[in-house]
Every structure is written in C-alpha cells, then in structure tokens.
Amino acid sequence: MSESIILSVNGMQYPVTIDQGRNLLSVIRGEVGLTGTKEGCDDCECGACMVLLDGQPVNSCSYLAMQAQGREITTVEGVLIGDAMHPLQRNLLAAGGVQCGFCTPGMIMSATALLQRTPAPTEEEVRVGLSGNLCRCTGYTKIVEAVQRTAAELQGS
Amino acid sequence: MTISTPAPNPARFIRADGPDKVTGSGRYTADLTLTGMLAAKFKYAGIAHGRITRLDTTAAKAIPGVFAVLTQADVPNVRFGGFVQDRTLFADGVVRFEAEIVAAVAAVDAATAQRAVDAIVVEYEPLPVVNDPEAALTADAPLVHTDWASYGASGALVRERNDASFSSIAKGDVDRGMAEAAVVVRSRYDADGCHAAPIEPRAIVAQWEGDKVTIWTTTQVPYDARAGVCETLELPANRVRIIVPHLGGGFGGKCGFHFEAHIAALAKAARRPVRLLFSRREEFLAPDKRRESICYDFETGVSSDGRIVARRVTMVLDNGAYTADAGFFSQLGAMHALGPYRIPNLLAEAHLAYTNHQPSGSVRAPTAPQTCWALESHTDEVARAIGMDPVAFRQLNAVDTGAEGPSGQTYGEIGVQECIERAARMAGYGQQLPGDEAIGVAIGWWPSFAVPSGAYVKIDGDGSAQIITGAQECGTGSVMTLPQLAADELGMSAADFQLVYQDTSVAPYDMGATGSQTLFNNGRAVIAAAAQIAEQLRALAADHLEADPADIVLANGQAFVAGTPDRAVPIATLAGIAAGGELLIGHGSGMPPGPPPISGSTCVGDAGVAAWVAPQFSCHAVRVKLDRDTGVARIMHVAAAHDSGTIINPLGAEGQVQGGVLMGIGQALTEGTSYDNEAHQRNAGLLDYKLQTCADAPPMDIHFVQINTPNAGPHGAKGLAEAPNVATAAAIANAIAQLVGAPVRQLPMTAERVWDALQEVAQNTIGGAA
C-alpha cells in the first residue's frame, strides 16, 4: 500500500509517495535521486548503503523508509562543506584510501559518525568503528590512516 | 641495478577519479536509468545437472507488464567459449550447474519480472551430478558434456572426456632424480574454490538505437565483452558499443563475457532499454568466474646438502560446468606447483576437470595463491625433513639472476633473493616469540602479460590535454597513473590531462583490467602516442625559436632550446599555433615485448604460459598467533617484499599490496566455497562467506625491490595487481603448521580444520607415548 511522506535528506525536504514496505536505500536512490549511497548485499553485511539518521549510522537497505520520517537523513552527498570537500574526503584521497570507490560512501558515513562520537579515536577504535563496512580493495590500512589524519586535523582546528 | 624504495613523496599521487568517488557524484552502472527502462531477471536451473523435458513460458508472457521472455530458441544458435566452445547463452537442452540460465525476462519492474520468472514452467530429467573433480577423471565417471569431442576448441588444448585441458611440464629425468635423492617427501593438499567478491554486484543496461546497441556494464574487459556480444548475437563489432561507468572492483570476477548479450537480446525483443541488477546471492552463484578448487599430490627429492633434485606433482583443477577462460589454468597451475625453484628433474601434470559446479575463471592471480599455499607448505615439510631452516632452504633453492627456472627459462636480473632477505628482516624472523606465535615464510611469483594495447593523446588549442584510451580502470589506479607517463614524455603536469576511458567505440583496443597488464601495456601505448605529439611540439618550437628541433627540450610546460632556457615558449602557445594548422594528435601502441626463450623442458598442452615475460617475485613473512583451544588463528603482522620492477606510483603500489595481502588472509582463514551433495553452494552470501573486516586487518610492512627491468613495461615496470595475492596464505600456513605441529592440509584453514589438526597431533602424541 502506498503512502505519501516527507523525507528530510541532507537538509532538503523530499515529498515521496512510496509503498510502505520499501527500504530507505531504494527510496534514496530512486525517488530522492541520490545515487551516492550504494547497494552491495541488501542484507546488512557490507555497509555500502550506510547513511546517518540523526547522526547515527544505519544500513539503509534494511531500514524502512517510513521509519525515517521526521528524522534527518545524511548521505554522502551531504558531507561536502558548501562546494569544498570535507577533510575526511580530502584525506581519503591524499592517503590513497580510495580504489574502486564503491565502499567509500558507506565508509565515509561510518567514519563521520565515529568522529562525532569519538573525536580522537585510537587506531583500534577506528578499526572497530569501521568494521561494519567491507572494503575489498585497500586492505583498510590507508582508510584508517585517513580517518586518523582527519581526527588530528579536526582536533587541531 | 637495484635501487631501494624511495622515501614517501609528500606530493604523492592523487587519483583523478577520486573526487567523483568521495563525493558520491561518480556514476556506477547500477546508478544509470533510462526513460522507459525495464528490469531483467533470470530463470536459473536450480539443479546442478538435468535434461530439460519441458520448458513453457506461456504463463510468464501473459503477465501484464512483461515485455519479453527469452530462451535459447530465441537467440542465434551459437556455441561460444574462448578455449572450448562448450557454452550457449541459455541452457541448450541440458543444465550443468545450479545457476545455469534457462530463460530471461524483461518486465516493467523487478517484482513483475520475478513473478514472470516464477511462472516459467521447467521440468527436468535428473542426470548424475559430477561433484568431485578427481572422480570426474575416472573412466566410468558420467560425462558433463557428452558431445565434448565435437566442440570447437583451441588447438593448444589436450582434451579427453571430462578433462578439458591437460598440461604437463617435464625436464630432466624425474625417476632418476627421486632415486638419487637422500630424502623424498610426499604431501597431499586440497584447496577449496573461492570468490572474487567485489563489493559492487554486477549491473548491465542495454539500449538499442536502430541496428546499434549500447551496453553499459560492470566489466573489467570491455573489448572481451564486446566480442562475446558480437559472437553470440551475430553482430559486427562496430554496431556494439560497450561503456563502463565507474567500476566497483573486479578482482578478476568481472573478466570475461558475462550477461551483456542476454540483456542486449532482451532489450531488442522488448524494444525498450533493459537493466539487470544482480543480488549478492546471484553474484556468488551465476558468474563463470570462481577461483578453482585444486587438489595436489607433491613429491620432492632433496640431496643431503639440501638441494632439490627432483619434483613430481599431479594436480586436478575444478573447471566447473563450462571452460570459460580457465583453459590455460592447467599449465599456469603447473608452473606454480613447480615454483620459482631450481629443479633439475621434474614432472608436473595438471588436469582441468569438468564438474557440475559453477564455472571457474580468472580470479586475481588464477591458480597462484592456492598452489603457492600447497607448494610452500610442502616446501616447509621438505626443509623440516632434512633439518634445514625454511628460509635458508629457500635461499639455497630459489631461482636467482642468471638461474634457470623449472620450464627452462633463464632469468635476467631478478630480485627474489632480496625479497626473501627483506621480508624475513621486516618480520623479525628468528626472534624469540611467545609459545602461541610463529612466523611463516613463503615465496611467490607471477608473470607479466605482454599484449597489444592502444591509446590516443591530443592537446587542444588552449593547451589542455586528453588521453583517450581503451584501458579499463577497476580501482587499482593503473589508468589513473597514465597521465603521469604522458606528462613526463611531454614536459607537462599530470594535472594537464583528462582521461577518456572504458568506451569501446571511442578508443583503440586494450585487453582490460586483467593480468595486471594495464600499466605494462597501455603505459607503453600512451608513451608512444605522447611521443608523436612531442615530435610535433619540437618542430613547432624549433620554428618559433629559430632552433634545431633536435635541440628542443620539453619541460615544466615549456619548450626551450637546450642550454639556453630563456629561449622558451609555453607549450600552450604552441598548442594555439597548432590549432590553426596541423592538430596535436598522437596515436600509440608499440610492440609488446616477445616471450623469452625456454629450453630443455617439454610442455604438453602448451597454452603459452611457461615462458614468462618480466616475471614478478615476492616473499611474505607473516606472524600468526594461535588459540590452541579453539583453532582460531589471528594475523599479527605481515611483511611483504615485492620485485615488480620499477614502481611508478608508490601510493597505488602500496595499496595493491595491502589489498592483495588482506585478500590472501581471507583465502587463508575464511574464504572457501562449500558444496553440498547435490552440488549446491552452501555459503552463497557474505554472512557465511566471510570477508576480512577492518578490525581483522593486521599491520603490514612493505618493501619494493626495484629493478629497472629490460623488456618490461614503462621505465622497467612489471605488473603488480595480482602478485600481492600470491604468497600470503602460504606464509600463514607455514606459521600455523609450526604452532600446530603439522600442516593443515585443507584451504581455507578454518578454525575447525586447525582444531582438527591439533587433535590429530595430540592423538598421535598420546598414541606414540602409549
């Protein structure tokens, strides 16, 4: 059964009419039209679909779009600061933490939530914090480096 | 000449596709939508072996919203395959593995397409399931392909019944060598198959305009995909355009020709654009690219002073139901089973057995990691049997500059010995360790592939440049490195170049992101194309500066007269002059280096992979901690030393090693496909097929032994993407064997298998005491 709801994504209000059973991922990619959030498994195992709901990381493949009403959804497209890259995005590139890039959006959302929660994480905290996001390319080393560099940069500012 | 790894450059390379990827603006195939686009779904066999007795699509076609339902009767009757023409697009009367495609549907949305798939009626007469590659080779085994003898095939292949490709390498007199050996060690090892498992599942979009089709697809090999579409749908190459948007990883799994023709055929029948999106489960089951399981019987004879005098190895590789690109795996596997060692007397025999499993195909260094695991485990057994330190044994027996390898190839300057020394040192080999920790060491090797490749370079009137290349970027960054090569040739900055790539109707041929070949071959092509423009620029500058073209130097964005840098003109100015006359357009390919000579060996079933151009070497040393109560092994540290020739992009090179090593850790400990008695995959999902996470990844130290290798890629570079995946599982195995007191003879070495090995050792110890 379809219902009309309003989703708030990256600070914009999106009126959408959707079947009640739709997951948030498919609505973000389809109706909202933001394809930065990826589908890798549709089963909460890979983390490619991770978005923030009121700042908390959620696998959007396994979350009903209806439940996201009234909450602020942040996707990778909402991480830019104006037209400039967020330090995390810049550091991922500088450290070489991006190869195929398919896990990158989910990884960025996970790391963003981690740094909000733990502004100066230890390496172990970074590794555990990102363990819900699978990357097949990098071996994670350079991603961890990028998150640590970002933490240092944000702490210093 | 050997030079050490340069210190990290603070201005290290940043990939040009990076901003697309970190901002979410980059488009991958699944992100594309076209007006009127339909959703595709496949009807799979669901059983591993059976004859179709009834196939009825009437009810499916009657469902509102269904635009097309296709079976083999609706497409040209073409049997295809690069090595053996053993396959059709849809099942042709017989299904031979569980995810064989019987029919395809295009419908208004995915749910309707799935309803139509469910409404297709298929009945089967069950046929005996061939579930064990070794049993498949026995005389009374049921045939997977009863018509095998009538199939077209590459003339290099030696085929017989279920053996799709037999290959052997022989040198010296192996019987005499064994007879003369002081000690002979025999070992059996079994490696399960495993998966590439890129995080991006496959996606394909096809759209026809008139008699031309454009296919956006997640392939690592656009030209190969195009050739497959052309062959199976009987179309000329210039009417099929393959475009690859950003590709979300491949690791070999997206090599070959997959489902592009199915989707093109659906789009044609439906008269609408059609999109296929794979689920994770389909990603595990359906592609004809799964790392082959292999079983090995080794026998190695050594002299009393620790020199290998003879090796005999027999191996059986699981081909699966169709041969795909695995035709050369038997010879490649045989090379890896012999290893980078000096062996005067040897015989390796490899069989590629048809089974009713998912077809095998190129996954990152096909045959190598599992064979290195088996060989290097065996090597430690040999060293132990004669009381030698495993590292010293390898230093004594591994090939070296000027030495002859197992196939009779004599190597130029190579860095294997330095790799061993460096990896052992970085790992702290020989240090005192706690009782639950050990360091295992293994060496690996991998060829570079010299093949044709092409590129264009142009500089427009404003001085900005483009590289238009057939090369495919799958994440490794090798295409992203090409601007650096063109910039060096033209005295410009890498940032002056934009890339146009992975579009078969725009750029010349390249083999694709396969065989670690992009930088090796397309780098040569880009340099050749840039060199043509450099010549044009020198002529223009000579005219402008009233000098001899031979005296013109291109550097820092300028052309100047050698020795008088103030007689200079910006390249952008020359580009402006050229825009009014002869345009700055270069095209390049360059001759790939030919294969090195081999002598003294006999190769049967010679697929051309016994002579290795610019071979790469590696040594990995891994410290492992074992919980003896549970069998759980934890990787504490990895030291990886690689000879991949000159390193052009250090940041990218490190990333290849880090990613390859972690994939190797997964293959060592958790990644293995398990089949039930009816040849269904038991663990076709990421919950049961466990990839390594960020929390699992150990610290790594990496060293590149850089040798400016002749007859290699640009500036003496070899390949790199596959080599880091070769030796890790083997090194882990050798640490685990020390901690268990015996090798774990199955890969992956899961906690359960390690625990079983511990119990066996304990029982033998008790039995021995009693």
For B494, B553, B623, the CA distances from B570, given in Å and listed in that order, are 16, 12, 55
Closest residue, chain A, to B24 (C-alpha): A36
Confidence band for B23, pLDDT divided at 50, 70 and 90: very high
The single-letter code of the amino acid at B5 is T
pLDDT at B258: 84
Q: Identify the burial level of B551 via C-beta atoms within 10 angstroms of its C-beta, where 0-12 means exposed, 13-18 middle and 19 or more buried.
A: middle
Alpha-carbon distance of B40 to B34, in angstroms, equals: 14
pLDDT 10s digits, B134-152: 999 999 999 999 999 999 9
| Percent of residues, chain B, with pLDDT higher than 70 | 98
For B3, B87, B316, B322, B683, the CA distances from B46, given in Å and listed in that order, are 56, 18, 26, 17, 15
The two three-digit tokens of residue A18, written as one number: 């959707």
Distance from CA of A83 to the nearest CA of B (A): 10
Does residue B573 share a domain with residue B612? Answer: no
**Domain of residue B559, residue span:** 451-588
Alpha-carbon distance of B738 to B384, in angstroms, equals: 10
Evaluate whether residue B655 is within a structural domain.
Answer: yes
Residues of B whose CB is below 8 A from A45: 280, 685-687
pLDDT at B9: 38
pLDDT at B589: 97
pLDDT at B769: 54
Does residue B276 share a domain with residue B337? Answer: no
Give the B window 454-513 contacts with A, CB below 8 Å. 474-477
Tell me how crowded residue B32 is: count the other CB atoms within 10 A of its CB: 18
Picking from A141, A123, A72, the residue whose alpha carbon sits closest to that of residue B661 is A141
A99 vs B12, B475, B696: nearest CB = B475
Is the pLDDT confidence value at B691 over 60? yes
Contacts of B684 by beta carbon, 8 Å cutoff, 6+ apart: B281, B284, B285
Is the pLDDT confidence value at B3 over 50? no
Residue B251 in contact with partner chain A when CB distance is under 8 A? yes
Q: Which residue has the higher pLDDT, B72 or B13?
A: B72
Evaluate whether residue B320 is within a structural domain.
Answer: yes
Lowest mean pLDDT across A42-46, B376-380, B572-576 = A42-46
pLDDT at B768: 58
pLDDT 10s digits, B418-434: 999 999 999 999 999 99
B686 vs A39, A41, A92: nearest CB = A41
Mutating which of A136, A148, A150 best tests the B interface, going by the most B Cβ atoms within 10 A?
Answer: A136
What are the strands, taking DSSP E only, across chain A? 2-9, 12-19, 50-53, 56-59, 72-74
Does residue B305 share a domain with residue B265? Answer: no
pLDDT at A1: 84
pLDDT at B193: 98
Q: What is the CATH classification number for the domain harbouring B114? A: 3.90.1170.50
Residue B486, classed as helix, strand or coil, is helix
| pTM metric for this prediction | 0.97
Stretch (H or E) spanning B103 = strand B101-107
Average pLDDT over residues B497-521: 96
The two three-digit tokens of residue B96, written as one number: 């031979």
Picking from A40, A16, A20, the residue whose alpha carbon sits closest to that of residue A30 is A16
Alpha-carbon distance of B302 to B386, in angstroms, equals: 8
Radius of gyration of chain B (CA): 27
What one-character-per-residue DSSP string does B42-72 give?
EEE--SSSEEEEEEE-HHHHTSTTEEEEE-G
Closest residue, chain A, to B15 (C-alpha): A93
The single-letter code of the amino acid at B208 is W
Last residue of a domain, one of B285, B305, B335: B285
Is the pLDDT confidence value at B438 over 80? yes
Does residue B398 share a domain with residue B274? Answer: no
**Contacts across the A-B interface (CB distance below 8 Å):** 170
The two three-digit tokens of residue A2, written as one number: 């379809």
Evaluate whether residue B153 is within a structural domain.
Answer: no
Output the furthest CA–CA distance in chain B (Å, rounded).
Answer: 97
Is the pLDDT confidence value at B494 over 80? yes
Residue B659 in contact with partner chain A when CB distance is under 8 A? yes
Distance from CA of B278 to the nearest CA of A (A): 9
Residue found under tokens 């590292």: B391
Alpha-carbon distance of B89 to B322, in angstroms, equals: 12
Contact assessment for residue B14 and residue B493, using Cβ atoms and an 8 Å cutoff: no
Does residue B762 share a domain with residue B621? Answer: yes
Evaluate whether residue B2 is within a structural domain.
Answer: no
Does residue B750 share a domain with residue B686? Answer: yes
Evaluate whether residue B145 is within a structural domain.
Answer: no
The two three-digit tokens of residue B255, written as one number: 């090599």
Alpha-carbon distance of B732 to B624, in angstroms, equals: 7
Does residue B425 share a domain with residue B544? Answer: no
Is the pLDDT confidence value at B764 over 60? yes
Does residue B352 share a domain with residue B320? Answer: yes
pLDDT at B767: 67
Alpha-carbon distance of B264 to B207, in angstroms, equals: 7
Closest residue, chain A, to B690 (C-alpha): A45
Does residue B357 share a domain with residue B494? Answer: no
Contact assessment for residue B545 and residue B561, using Cβ atoms and an 8 Å cutoff: yes
Does residue B463 share a domain with residue B423? Answer: no
Does residue B415 share a domain with residue B425? Answer: yes
Evaluate whether residue B6 is within a structural domain.
Answer: no
pLDDT at B257: 84
A99 vs B20, B657, B659: nearest CB = B659
Residue B217, classed as helix, strand or coil, is strand
List, edge to edge, every strand of the sheet that includes B584-588.
B497-501, B465-469, B455-459, B584-588
> With a cut of 0.90, is the ipTM above it?
yes
Domain count, chain B: 3
Closest residue, chain B, to A92 (C-alpha): B22
Stretch (H or E) spanning B188 = strand B183-191
Interface contact B686-A43, CB threshold 8 A: yes
CA end-to-end span of chain A? 50
The two three-digit tokens of residue B305, written as one number: 């002073």
Interface contact A135-B694, CB threshold 8 A: yes
For A105, A151, B245, B396, the CA distances from B26, given in Å and listed in that order, are 11, 26, 8, 51
Evaluate whether residue B166 is within a structural domain.
Answer: no
Alpha-carbon distance of B518 to B482, in angstroms, equals: 9
Interface contact A100-B652, CB threshold 8 A: no
Alpha-carbon distance of B757 to B377, in angstroms, equals: 14
What average pLDDT values come out for chain A (157 residues) when binned by 10 residues? 96 97 98 98 96 98 97 98 96 97 98 97 98 98 98 90
pLDDT 10s digits, B49-97: 999 999 999 999 999 999 999 999 999 999 999 999 999 999 999 999 9
Mutating which of B15, B21, B219, B277 best tests the A interface, going by the most A Cβ atoms within 10 A?
Answer: B21
pLDDT at B611: 96
Mutating which of A141, A142, A147, A150 best tests the B interface, going by the most B Cβ atoms within 10 A?
Answer: A141
Interface contact B475-A137, CB threshold 8 A: yes
Q: Which domains are seen in chain A, by residue range?
A: 2-78 (3.10.20.30), 87-156 (1.10.150.120)
Residues of B whose CB is below 8 A from A42: 279-280
pLDDT 10s digits, B119-130: 999 999 999 999
Interface contact A136-B199, CB threshold 8 A: yes
Residues of A whose CB is below 8 A from B195: none
Lowest mean pLDDT across B8-17, B166-175, B214-223, B532-541 = B8-17
Alpha-carbon distance of B218 to B262, in angstroms, equals: 14
Last residue of a domain, one of B265, B285, B305: B285
Q: Identify the burial level of B154 via C-beta atoms within 10 angstroms of its C-beta, where 0-12 means exposed, 13-18 middle and 19 or more buried.
A: middle
Angle, CA B724 vertex, CA B322 and CA B591 arms, to 5°: 75
Confidence band for B10, pLDDT divided at 50, 70 and 90: very low
Residue found under tokens 């005219």: B543
Alpha-carbon distance of B283 to B407, in angstroms, equals: 37
Is the pLDDT confidence value at B770 over 80? no
Contacts of B16 by beta carbon, 8 Å cutoff, 6+ apart: B480, B483, B498, B499
Picking from B607, B127, B141, the residue whose alpha carbon sits closest to that of residue B353 is B141
pLDDT at B14: 79
B746-747 and B183-191 strand pairing: parallel
Residues of B whose CB is below 8 A from A136: 197-199, 249, 251, 659, 663, 691
What rounded mean pLDDT belongs to chain B?
96
Interface contact B474-A100, CB threshold 8 A: yes
Interface contact A137-B197, CB threshold 8 A: no
pLDDT at A157: 67
Residues B207, B212, B214, B215: what is their CA dihedral angle, to the nearest 10 degrees? 80
Residue found under tokens 């639950």: B436
Residues of B whose CB is below 8 A from A23: none
Alpha-carbon distance of B298 to B237, in angstroms, equals: 46
pLDDT at B171: 98
Give the B window 265-284 contacts with A, CB below 8 Å. 277, 279-280
Mutating which of B694, B700, B720, B728 best tests the A interface, going by the most A Cβ atoms within 10 A?
Answer: B694
Q: Where are the alpha helices (DSSP H) in B628-727?
A: 650-669
Give the B window 7-36 contacts with A, CB below 8 Å. 12, 14-15, 17-28, 30-31
Evaluate whether residue B62 is within a structural domain.
Answer: yes
Does residue B317 come out as left (phi exceeding 0), alpha (psi in the -120 to 50 range) or beta? beta
Last residue of a domain, one of B561, B588, B615: B588
Interface contact B199-A42, CB threshold 8 A: no
pLDDT at B2: 36
Residues of B whose CB is below 8 A from A80: 23
A72-74 and A2-9 strand pairing: parallel
The two three-digit tokens of residue A106, written as one number: 């989910």
Does residue B410 share a domain with residue B553? Answer: no
Q: Where are the alpha helices (DSSP H) in B546-702?
A: 571-579, 650-669
Mutating which of B199, B251, B277, B670 best tests the A interface, going by the most A Cβ atoms within 10 A?
Answer: B199
Q: Identify the burial level of B433 via C-beta atoms within 10 angstroms of its C-beta, where 0-12 means exposed, 13-18 middle and 19 or more buried.
A: middle
Distance from CA of A5 to the nearest CA of B (A): 22
Q: What is the CATH classification number for the domain harbouring B612? A: 3.30.365.10
Q: Where are the alpha helices (DSSP H) in B546-612?
A: 571-579
Bridge partners of residue B746, in order along the sequence: B190
The single-letter code of the amino acid at B664 is G
